[in-house]
Amino acid sequence: MRDIKSENRERRNSDKGTLIALGSRDSIAHQVATSIKTISSGYTAVNITRTTAESN
């Protein structure tokens, strides 16, 4: 069985640069990027929101 927690942590750390570059969580660009990321990486919207909040 995969270790999902550490997998998510690695993914979260690698996403930090992208999230910071997108700036405010309220910006349109950020919301679009988050939506795309949700689809492409298999994250749920809830996980994306939590991850984003943790990186800021």
pLDDT digits (tens, 9 = 90+) for 1-56: 567 676 666 666 565 555 555 455 556 666 666 666 655 555 555 555 555 555 55
Q: Which pLDDT score, from 0 to 100, does residue 5 have?
A: 74
| DSSP 8-state class, residue 1 | -
Burial class (CB in 10 A: 0-12, 13-18, 19+), 51: buried
